[in-house]
Structures are given as structure tokens and as C-alpha cells.
Amino acid sequence: MHTATLRLSVLLFLLATTAQGSFAKDVKRLEIGSSCPELSLPGVDDRIHKLSDFADAKLLVVVFTCNHCPTAQAYEERVIKLDADYRSRGVRLIAISPNDPQAVRLDELGYTDVGDTLEDMKYHANRVGFKFPYLYDGETQRVSTGFGVLATPHVFIFDQQRKLRYNGRIDDEEMKAPQSHDARNAIEQLLAGNAVSVETTRVFGCSTKWAEKRKSAKQSLANWDAEPVELKQIEAGPLKSLVANKTENYRLVNLWSFTCVPCIAEQPKFVTINRMYRKRHFEFITIVTDDVDRSDVALKALKRNKVACRNLVFAGGNRDELAEIVDRAWQGPLPYTILIAPGGKIVKRWSDEIDAQEVKTTLADALGRTYASRK
């Protein structure tokens, strides 16, 4: 390699490393034998939880997890069972979300329907049935920094003197039956009065969303806002093929008009949804029902709301023909939205303005919330 080329390669590497360091945080994992860091955090039960609340527990299991991460969601049932199996034996389990919600990019929410705010945590904990404290550390992240949380999930197990005896994963398999039940093994050994045979393991999952990553999340929004917005004509034949959907993608199709106030008002909701799921097997498509010769007005509305997706205007006939092709169940009022599964079946219809939470829940369930159900 020529000297100039080598120098350029080194420079590019250093620039990349520096750029990455601008939003990454270097933390040190809590060492075995360390005392449990003090905590005073709000929970989904609207209470402030402190370390002293668990003083009577023989063991304290602290699981750092979150709402949005596919790996964290894959382990939720195992965490629930861990708590249920050991609570009667004097073990207390608490879960803590370490993430700064503003540091999570929208496209990192592609496996979920909620973010990592405290309000989202309340909603999620209630529906999945958490019986243990679920605490929020996203505001200051002081507790998470003290523990040295690397990813979600990440488990820390403390003895009765609140000295750390295990630091690592729940088990060794996310998507199939585990072979090494590391956290359970540690609990059993400690309850038996023995030393933990494997004190530290690697962890896997979604990296902690430290506040330093806010810059990256903000930049992603700016990049999406700069994407070109186009409006193209579509004839009857191609539209029939679109609805037949011989692809692997779920297609969310929104019919709208630039004369419809609710249609324009809900476009930002669809923009967020599209940015969340666009990396999955998902497409968002808009079809404006106004005349082709007014396409310029429709395009202005799309550009104003930054609707960068497949935007279409029907050029093959009138609205009745459009309805016959897209969905015969559509009675005509706007806005109107349908979700078309691979193979062409309409699996969900929304008349009038959408409830964004309901749409996201429908999509997350359809696409799958874990890597085991990756779509």
C-alpha cells in the first residue's frame, strides 16, 4: 500500500471513531463484589422506589430492560417467570429502563408500538403483566451509569449484603431453548449458600440509548425530512397488482384528498409510522382521490408534511372504479386506510382519522416483535 493511501485510511478510521464517540458512552460494568448502587427512581406505579425498599430480600435481581428492544421483548416472559418462581423464596426482582427516549431513533422502534418514555412503560407493563417494579432511569441515567449497563436485557444479582455476585445475561439463547440458564443458576447457588460458579457473562441485546445518542436521533429526523417527495400516476392494471400484493410486505394504504382536513391532519402520524417500520417487510402507500389535473395541489400537501413514500394518484377512471379496485367495502368517506397482507387479504380497515397507537400495535403484531419472528 502506498504511504499516502495508508495515511488516508488511518485518517478515515480516526474520523469514523471520533464521530462514533460523539454519541457513544464508555461505561464500566459494575465489578463482582461491588455494593449495589443507590437508587431512587420513579416506577410505573407512580411511586419512587429506593434500594431500602428491598432490604428484607435474601437476593436482589436487577434487570435492565426496555420497551422497544426485540431482544428485551423476547425475554419478557422469562423475566416474568423468573420473578414468579423465586419471589416466594425471598428473591426480589426489579426492572429498570436505562434508555433516554430522545436518544432512540424512530427506525429503532420497528419491532414495537411504543417508545421508552415513562408513560409508554406504564402502558406496556400493564398489558404484558409485570408484577414487579418497573423503574424509569431515562431522565438522568445516573443509576444505569453506576451499574455500567451495556445492553437490554442486562442482569445484576446481589446477595443479602447487597454485594454483586452475578453480572450478565439471563441465559444463552434468545430465539430457541437455552442451554445455559446463567441467571437462574446464580440464584440457585446463592440461595444454597454457595459461590456463583459463573459470575460474569457476555450480554447481548440492544445497546443502551445514552443521552449522547440524541444527536444521532435528531440527525436521522433531518435526513428523513430531506428525502424527496413525489406523486406519480397509476393506471387500473398496476393498481390491481398493487392491491393483489404478491410481495412479502404488509402494505398500509391511505386514501385521501387535499380537500379533506382530517386527511391532511393525520399525515404526520403516517410519516412517523413509515419511519418506524420501513426497514421491515412494510410499505406505506398513499392514493390521492382528487383529479389527476389537480396533482400539483396534492403534491404541495405531501411535501409540506414530508410524506416521502410511494404517493399515487389514480389515472384510470373515477372514484367508483378506484373503490372497486382497492376495496369494495369502502363506502366513499375520507380518510380511509387499509392494511393489505402479503397475498392481498385486507386484514384491517380504518374509517375516518386513524388512532396512531392502534395502527402501530397492529403492525408490530403483524410484523413480529422479536428477531425470532423477523419480517
Which pLDDT tens digit goes with each residue over 38-68?
999 999 999 999 999 999 999 999 999 999 9
3-class DSSP state for residue 350? strand
Q: What is the pLDDT of residue 316?
A: 82
pTM for the model stands at 0.91
Distance CA 13, CA 7 (A): 10
21-211 falls under which CATH superfamily? Glutaredoxin (3.40.30.10)
How many CA atoms lie less than 13 Å away from 365 in the CB half-sphere? 9
Query: Residue-wise over 98-130: b if at least 16 C-beta within 10 A, else e?
Result: bbbbebbbbbbbbbbbbbbbbebbbbbbeeeeb
Distance CA 363, CA 242 (A): 19
Query: What CATH class is the domain 218-367?
Result: alpha beta
Q: What is the pLDDT of residue 24?
A: 58
Residue 297: Cβ within 10 Å count = 13
Domains 21-211 and 218-367 share a fold: yes
Locate the domains of the chain by residue range: 21-211, 218-367
Which pLDDT tens digit goes with each residue over 104-144?
999 999 999 999 999 999 999 999 999 999 999 999 999 99
Nearest Cα to Cα of residue 88 among 166, 191, 194, 193:
191
Q: What is the pLDDT of residue 188?
A: 98
Q: What is the pLDDT of residue 10?
A: 34
Those residues of the chain that have pLDDT short of 50 are: 1-23
